[in-house]
A and B are shown apart, each in its own frame.
Chain A
Amino acid sequence: MQLKENIRQYIAQNILFSDDGFGYDDDASFLEQAIIDSVGFMELVAFVQKEYGIEVKPQELVRDNFDSVNRIARYIASKQSPGGTAG
């Protein structure tokens, strides 16, 4: 799925500075596996907003929406669906 691939690629290139791709499961918790720190996380949120034209509300910055590639993809899809909301 292109959406997940885009997210993986963004994290790998801009947050992890990895030459070998993302390297984790799509379900891997950013928090529990210490994959990204708080600064990287803010960059990721900014990327989601800009790339997908989504306004992320502060109250939506919770684990359910942002703590794995799968969760972010689900969140973006729900925001893009007509009348969609998340969190």
Chain B
Amino acid sequence: MTVSPRLQMNLAETILSAGDDAAIAVFYRDSALTYRELRQRVARLAGALLARGHRKGDRIGLCSENSPFFVVAYLATIRAGLVTVPFQTDLSRDAFEKIVSDAGIKEMFVSKRFDSQLRPWVENAGVTLLAESLEPLPDSGALPMPEINPAQDLAALMFTSGSTGAPKGVMVSHRNIACNTRDIISYMGLTAKDRVMVVLPFHYCFGISLLHTHLMAGASVVLNNGFKLFPEEVLQEMQQRECTGIAGVPSTYQLLLRKSRFRDLKFPALRWFQQAGGKLPNPHIAEILAAFPQVEYFLMYGQTEATARLSYLPPARLGDKLGSIGQGLPCTRLEVLKANGSPVIPGSNETGEIVAAGDNITLGYWNDPAETAKFFKNGKLHTGDIARVDDDGFIYIVERERELIKSGGNRVSAKEVEDVIAELPEVVEVAVLGAPHDLLGEAIKAFLMVVPDAKITPVAVEAHCRKRLASFKAPEEILFLKNMPHNGSGKISKTKLRELVANGTSREKSLSPLPIVEVEKCLAQ
């Protein structure tokens, strides 16, 4: 097999090779970083890391909000043949120390914003803190960069946010990222003219994929970390910078639709939306399409274990294939396999697990052969997601395996109930899960956040569910939350909601919402 010479390169070198010297790679607040400056800073910092005695494969931590510092530290680590370990910025001290120890981190980049919080943690763990103010570190001058074997050598350890379990470090190779990035650039048709508004954190695989794809296309990223409180400011910057795209998880779009002027503003340069990280309810997608008929909507599916992306639904097929995750990327083969290992029959009601193969399938979990053996078999990733396939080969996720609720002898899809509740215009976010129940096995509980001053009541939500769903699928309890708990990637944290239920705050009586403050306190614990 012939391998393209570019595939043999260091990933950071590949990513940085496309942009014109004078073109802007990164917009951040009032600053603009050109490709020329970015290449220089990355080369200098990579040399400095090697001069500090690091050897190929050493893990270097990185805790920073999205910023030019993050971009430089991330790419310099990879350029030096080292392994970058981006940290979620809101980890507990225990989780932080566990990752430092698991990954064997000896040095760690920390941005100014997190310096005072992390310094005692970092020093207590015997780790050297590389502060933002130290960049550029003194360069070695002429230390040669290590040779890279792209298929074997790791570029990053990505700790998954653990929305369904404890964080695990996914081993991502240079080739994994190069391959996945090329596929995304190709189906999105990204060029040097593109400019993405980035509101997703770079420690999350979807967020960092925006950096990979745009730099490799010679395009620009616009970083704005204010989305949580100031979506309006993000919209203004999108207009001002003439962004061609924005990427988000479901809650990003729900916030835009329900709590900003998104639909009323004009974005003449806007060409596409990217949405992944869970399912945005169909009614919300329809609202976006109606408000922005000229903008292409890319609905996508992926996992950290697959670098970032596994499939996408071409915008032209949203009309006839809404609800589908589309088909595998050019370099990713997706199969839907029954328990006996044979593929489901397309067009039938058979369901099976989505299994993926291709150069974007990562090398497994760091220091965890048992978990690796469970999900990575013969180089194929077993996603745990259950799906069916239609006559045209489009894949429909029926349920994430862990989210099937077994209630009273019935199997109920949390997603189906969430979709129905999301039809109500007052609903901003909804999460449905099964809570342990003496008689039913699991009871269906729905957690909702509604728009401010909404008149809707739990009884009205229940009535809607009963109208639209079989009675055994209607939630046994409906709780209104003042705020929905999210994990570090911005997705709803069902783990925290389960803790809420487990802590006994849930009432026996159906449909009686907790006092909001009580729920809030519980979430904070």
Is A58 a contact of B260 with CB atoms below 8 Å? yes
Specify which of B225, B232, B482 lies most central, judged by the most chain A CB atoms within 10 Å of its CB: B232
State which of A17, A36, A61, A67 has its C-beta within 8 Å of the C-beta of B232: A61
| Chain A 38-62 interface mask (CB, 8 Å, partner B; 1/0) | 1101100000000000000011011
Per the 8 Å Cβ criterion, residues 206-248 of B in contact with A are 225-226, 228-230, 232-233, 236
Cβ contacts A to B, 21 pairs, < 8 Å: A17-B517, A31-B225, A31-B226, A31-B228, A32-B65, A36-B229, A38-B228, A39-B482, A39-B483, A41-B229, A42-B452, A58-B261, A59-B232, A59-B261, A61-B230, A61-B232, A61-B233, A62-B232, A62-B236, A63-B230, A67-B230
**In the complex, which residues of chain B have a beta carbon less than 8 angstroms from the beta carbon of A1?**
none
Minimum Cβ distance to chain B for residue A71 (Å): 12
In the complex, which residues of chain A have a beta carbon less than 8 angstroms from the beta carbon of B236?
59, 62
Assess whether B90 is interfacial by the CB under 8 Å rule.
yes
Give complex CA distance A37, B517 in Å. 14
**B437 contacts the other chain (CB 8 A):** no
Identify the closest chain A residue to B260 (Cβ).
Answer: A58
A10 at the interface (CB under 8 A from B): no
A34 to B517, CA, bound (A): 19
Flag if B232 contacts A58 (CB, 8 Å): yes
Minimum CB–CB distance for B405 against chain A, Å: 28
Contact of A38 with B233 at beta-carbon distance under 8 Å, contacts A58-B261, A63-B226 already known: no
Interface of B is mostly: loop
Nearest-neighbour CB distance to chain B for A66, whole angstroms, equals: 7
Q: Which residue of A lies closest to B516 (CB)?
A: A39
Bound form: Cα–Cα A69–B226 in Å = 17
Residues of B contacting A38 in the complex (Cβ-Cβ under 8 angstroms): 228-229, 255, 259, 483
Please give, as numbers and ranges, the residues of chain A lying within 8 Å of B507 by CB-CB distance.
Answer: none
Chain A residues near B260 (CB-CB < 8 A): 58
- How distant is the Cα of A21 from the Cα of B454 in the complex, in angstroms? 31
Bound Cα distance A54, B114 (Å): 35
Residues of B within 8 A of A17 (CB): 517
Q: Cβ of B255: which chain A residues have Cβ within 8 Å of it? A: 38
Compute how far the CA of A34 lies from the CA of B452 in the bound complex, rounded to whole angstroms.
21
Q: How far apart sit A63 and B227, CA to CA, in the bound complex (Å)?
A: 10
Contact present for A63 and B90 (CB under 8 Å): no
Give Cα A37–Cα B251 distance, bound, in whole angstroms.
Answer: 15
Complex: how many Å from CA A63 to CA B229?
9
CA distance A58 to B233 in the complex (A): 10
Please tell me which one of the listed residues B226, B230, B259, B483 contacts residue A37 in the complex, with CB atoms under 8 A apart.
Answer: B483
Nearest-Cβ distance from residue A55 to partner chain B, whole angstroms: 15
Distance between Cα atoms of A66 and B233 in the complex (Å): 11
Neighbouring B residues of A37 by C-beta, 8 Å: 228, 483
Across the interface, A31 reaches (CB within 8 A) one of B229, B259, B483, B517, namely B229
A32 touches B90 (CB 8 A): no
| B 473-487 contacts with A by CB, 8 A | 482-483
Complex Cα distance, B483 from A36, in Å, reads 12
- Contacts of A61 on B, CB cut-off 8 Å? 230, 232-233
